[in-house]
Amino acid sequence: MASHIVGYPRMGPKRELKFALESFWDGKTTAEDLQKVAADLRASIWKQMADAGIKYIPSNTFSYYDQVLDTTAMLGAVPARYGYTGGEIGHDIYFSMARGNATLPAMEMTKWFDTNYHFIVPELGPNTKFSYGSHKAVSEYKEAKALGIDTVPVLVGPVTYLLLSKPAKGVEKSFSPLSLLGSVLPVYKYHVVSREVIAELKAAGASWIQFDEPTLVMDLGAHQLEAFTQAYAELESSFSGLKVLIETYFADIPAEAYKTVTALKGVSGIGFDLVRGSKTLDLIKSDFPADKNLFAGVVDGRNIWANDLVSSLTILESLEAIVGKDKLVVSTSCSLLHTAVDLVNENKLDDEIKSWLAFAAQKIVEVNALAKALAGQKDEAYFSANAAAQGSRKSSPRVTNEEVQKAAAALKGSDHRRSTNVSARLDAQQKKLNLPVLPTTTIGSFPQTMDLRRVRREYKAKKISEEEYIAAIKEEIHKVVKLQEELDIDVLVHGEPERNDMVEYFGEQLSGFAFSANGWVQSYGSRCVKPPIIYGDVSRPKPMTVFWSTMAQSMTSRPMKGMLTGPVTILNWSFVRNDQPRFETCYQIALAIKKEVEDLEAAGIQVIQIDEAALREGLPLRKSEQAFYLDWAVHSFRITNCGVKDTTQIHTHMCYSNFNDIIHSIIDMDADVITIENSRSDEKLLSVFREGVKYGAGIGPGVYDIHSPRIPSTEEIADRINKMLAVLETNILWVNPDCGLKTRKYNEVKPALTNMVDAAKLLRTQL
């Protein structure tokens, strides 16, 4: 019985690659230094898998930045502006595409399916020339081989690569990158003379190659599915003497795509995500080709929970009965890139919680243990320790809180709406707030200085007293409040100086959350996030923000926004428990935030912003599942504020503007005011309203991009506002930046906000 790992995290157990990359980029270390760190990481990962007994060990899942960018390099598909003239693509061009350079911006980045990983979007056009531009896959294979480890080289499949590409600048929007299939395949193919990638891998001794084709789980049309059939038929002759694995992941595979993938020519194995894809199991059971291997992804690559080995074994045994003992391979649901690296380095988590978890290094051991158990060599001690941990998690009083369970269950059957409609509420609020037309505000955070970070760090490490900490934060809030008054902003914020991170800050104060010391997951390039772990029923032992918000309000006579993170965002940016549906956990968080909202209101805060920056991120990949998600996500948001008075103004904020397709859900959130990222894509957002969607609540599409240090002029901002006024009612429009200001510097923020307020004032005189 064989075992397989789809892919492995690259960053290293202590983010070694991150630090090596950043010091190389800063010019502090050489390319050789960077390559050495990378090679050591790869060697230790391969060795770890070999020692664990994994049969199919992946190579080429390492990357200096991103595996899709690696594929762009392999195919020589470098956009012309980066000046590639042929030959092996080096660090210079590679990192220019990834991060930009002194004169050129980076290529666009977007989310990898529904994960928090971001890939570099290939830019293709009818004139794109493909050539074999990077031998990375082959050199990694050889590198492992030299260490005595035979690996399975992993390539992004040609069809997925094209489906994830976009038309290059200047190319018709209607251009379909998929039309380039015929030009891409030659680089993959076997050429006796030119020795392209498959030929080289074969010559180096590879016996299996893995093609990742996760787009197969999306809602594809017949034409797109046909491209898979065509591509693999064309590659078939190159595959002779090789075995080919097609790997899919992230969702149930649709029935049509299942038919396509199981009929592909020249393919010896197919991998499925059986954690997210529970319906895929039925497809396999009804029909699986007799000549192919089934790579059964039963160990979750996207979460940090220890596998329930007994239940996985049951699934595997049922599959074994269908495909046969020698054709079943135990695998992970997807690449382990999306989970944390190694539990061994966790000193912050207590032993009980630790016993419930498995990071990438532990998941490898799970995969192998399952494969051995199927082969009749069950490690009884390992299985019984696992069963004990599963049992302790089920029965632990730290996990279950009866009161919370009851309160969440009682939510059913009601949809929690404020009793007065939004326009009447806005009238009631205006009587109290007395704001000018085109009111100005900001999104919450102000620049995070080195000093501030130091104060928080020292307080956490108990190096300064609580009094000293409060005094320092108070001084910062005072500074931010006075600045906003000087700038003449209408609705103020306290600047969030006490927060490290908008989710962590709340997670640390809520019950049911745990925090790892090193549970980092790559987000993009060298950037990693450390999601909180939600292990138990969520409750709020005491107020979380009331102290700071009331302090800030006492410093000014202008309205001060209370600032909270919404339940859906807390959920989507955490590792969520897998022993109850996600929506139940979300409802529990909603109830906790509701208490906070009510305490803020009782303390005299009249405007409360509940950020739902990540609401869209949780949208399921498959259309058929989206309505259900949107329904409970929007419901969760409404739960937090359905009980406030008409005169309390509820704001929400979102960090993306591509919500044309979910606009009705956004309206259904029934917030009084929504502020949204907009300045990077004016037209897109406004087109929704131009198309006649009725929007009656307050709305503040960002008037300038906070991601850039550039300072927008008054005219430019006024121009933007005018464009919005053309499609939106004057009395609902707010004026604000795109997002929080925490990554900016004061010498950027002050002039930018000055110009923003000037623009609003200028337009007020013209109305």
Alpha-helical (H) ranges within 210-328 are 222-235, 255-262, 280-286, 309-323
List the one residue out of 164, 165, 173, 152 whose CA is nearest residue 46: 152
Q: Check the annotation: does 334 bind a ligand.
A: no
Token pair 């790892």 in the structure block, residue: 516
Interacting span for ligand GLN (CB under 6 A) from 8-16, 51-59, 469-477, 734-742:
734-742
Contact (CB, 8 A) for 672 and 650 = yes
Identified binder of ligand GLN from the candidate list 153, 444, 700, 702, rule CB under 6 A: 444
Identified binder of ligand GLN from the candidate list 490, 611, 646, 672, rule CB under 6 A: 611
Considering the complex, state which of residue 9 and residue 740 has its C-beta at the smaller distance from ligand GLN: 740
d(CA 199, CA 192): 7
Alpha-helical (H) ranges within 556-660 are 567-572, 582-602, 626-641
Count of H-run helices and E-run strands, the chain: 28, 21
Q: How many residues does the chain have?
A: 767
Identified binder of ligand GLN from the candidate list 292, 651, 653, 720, rule CB under 6 A: 653
Interacting span for Zn ion (CB under 5 A) from 283-291, 403-411, 515-523, 732-740:
732-740
Identified binder of ligand GLN from the candidate list 11, 198, 373, 655, rule CB under 6 A: 655
Considering the complex, state which of residue 302 and residue 653 has its C-beta at the smaller distance from ligand GLN: 653
List the one residue out of 93, 73, 75 whose CA is nearest residue 83: 93
Angle formed at CA 459 by CA 456 and CA 465, multiple of 5 degrees: 140
The pattern of x and - marking residues 575 through 614 that bind Zn ion according to CB under 5 A reads --------------------------------------x-
Number of residues binding to ligand GLN, judged by CB under 6 A: 13
387 secondary structure, DSSP code: H
Under the binding rule (CB under 6 A), the answer on residue 739 touching ligand GLN is yes
Q: Check the annotation: does 664 bind a ligand.
A: yes
Token pair 């709340």 in the structure block, residue: 506
Q: What share of the chain is helix, strand, coil (3-state, %, to 5)?
A: 45, 15, 40
The DSSP H or E segment spanning 93 is: helix 91-99
Considering the complex, state which of residue 262 and residue 675 has its C-beta at the smaller distance from Zn ion: 675
Identified binder of ligand GLN from the candidate list 443, 650, 671, 749, rule CB under 6 A: 443
Under the binding rule (CB under 6 A), the answer on residue 456 touching ligand GLN is no
215 secondary structure, DSSP code: G
Under the binding rule (CB under 6 A), the answer on residue 214 touching ligand GLN is no
d(CA 256, CA 245): 19
Q: Check the annotation: does 570 bind a ligand.
A: no
Alpha-helical (H) ranges within 410-554 are 422-433, 450-460, 466-487, 504-507, 546-554
Instruction: Tell me the residue type at 284.
Output: I
Considering the complex, state which of residue 20 and residue 655 has its C-beta at the smaller distance from Zn ion: 655
Site for ligand GLN in 126-155 (CB under 6 A): none
From the list Zn ion, ligand GLN, none, partner contacted by residue 438 (C-beta under 5 to 8 A by kind) = none
Under the binding rule (CB under 6 A), the answer on residue 594 touching ligand GLN is no
Q: Check the annotation: does 684 bind a ligand.
A: no
Residue 86 backbone class (left: φ over 0; alpha: ψ -120 to 50; beta: rest):
left
Least distance in angstroms from the C-beta of 333 to Zn ion: 30
Structure tokens at 607: 């405007």
Considering the complex, state which of residue 158 and residue 447 has its C-beta at the smaller distance from ligand GLN: 447
d(CA 432, CA 191): 76
Considering the complex, state which of residue 57 and residue 655 has its C-beta at the smaller distance from Zn ion: 655
Q: Which residue is nearest to ligand GLN (CB)?
A: 740
Q: Check the annotation: does 642 bind a ligand.
A: no
Least distance in angstroms from the C-beta of 460 to ligand GLN: 20
Phi and psi torsions of 154, nearest 5°:
-110, 130
Interacting span for ligand GLN (CB under 6 A) from 441-449, 546-554, 663-671, 689-697:
441-449
Site for Zn ion in 611-630 (CB under 5 A): 613
Considering the complex, state which of residue 134 and residue 736 has its C-beta at the smaller distance from ligand GLN: 736
Q: Check the annotation: does 363 bind a ligand.
A: no
The pattern of x and - marking residues 555 through 584 that bind ligand GLN according to CB under 6 A reads --------x---------------------
Token pair 């502020």 in the structure block, residue: 675
Considering the complex, state which of residue 327 and residue 742 has its C-beta at the smaller distance from Zn ion: 742
Token pair 């993938």 in the structure block, residue: 261
d(CA 100, CA 604): 47
Identified binder of ligand GLN from the candidate list 99, 302, 577, 742, rule CB under 6 A: 742
Structure tokens at 618: 């949780």
Least distance in angstroms from the C-beta of 489 to ligand GLN: 14
Rounded to a whole number, what is the distance in angstroms from the first to the last CA of the chain?
A: 75
Strands (E), 75-142: 109-111, 118-120, 123-124
List the one residue out of 615, 605, 595 whose CA is nearest residue 493: 605
Identified binder of ligand GLN from the candidate list 12, 562, 618, 740, rule CB under 6 A: 740
From the list Zn ion, ligand GLN, none, partner contacted by residue 218 (C-beta under 5 to 8 A by kind) = none
List the one residue out of 732, 662, 726 whose CA is nearest residue 695: 732
- Per DSSP, the residues of 587-617 read HHHHHHHHHHHHHHHHTT--EEEEE-TTTGG
Instruction: Tell me the residue type at 103.
Output: T
From the list Zn ion, ligand GLN, none, partner contacted by residue 502 (C-beta under 5 to 8 A by kind) = ligand GLN
The radius of gyration of the chain from alpha carbons, rounded to an integer in Å, stands at 27
Considering the complex, state which of residue 248 and residue 553 has its C-beta at the smaller distance from ligand GLN: 553
Q: At what angle do helices 181-188 and 222-235 cross, to 10 degrees?
A: 30
Interacting span for ligand GLN (CB under 6 A) from 190-198, 440-448, 476-484, 579-587:
440-448
Site for ligand GLN in 487-506 (CB under 6 A): 496, 502
Token pair 């007293």 in the structure block, residue: 465
Under the binding rule (CB under 5 A), the answer on residue 739 touching Zn ion is yes
Question: Known catalytic residues?
Answer: 707
Q: Check the annotation: does 478 bind a ligand.
A: no
Considering the complex, state which of residue 154 and residue 443 has its C-beta at the smaller distance from ligand GLN: 443
Interacting span for ligand GLN (CB under 6 A) from 86-94, 309-317, 353-361, 438-446:
438-446
d(CA 142, CA 144): 5
Please enumerate, by residue number, every residue annotated as part of a binding site for L-homocysteine: 443-445, 611
Please enumerate, by residue number, every residue annotated as part of a binding site for L-methionine: 443-445, 496, 611
Interface residue list for ligand GLN (CB under 6 A): 443-445, 496, 502, 563, 611, 613, 653, 655, 739-740, 742
Interface residue list for Zn ion (CB under 5 A): 613, 655, 739
Please enumerate, by residue number, every residue annotated as part of a binding site: 18, 116, 443-445, 496, 527-528, 573, 611, 653, 655, 664, 668, 677, 739
Please enumerate, by residue number, every residue annotated as part of a binding site for 5-methyltetrahydropteroyltri-L-glutamate: 18, 116, 527-528, 573
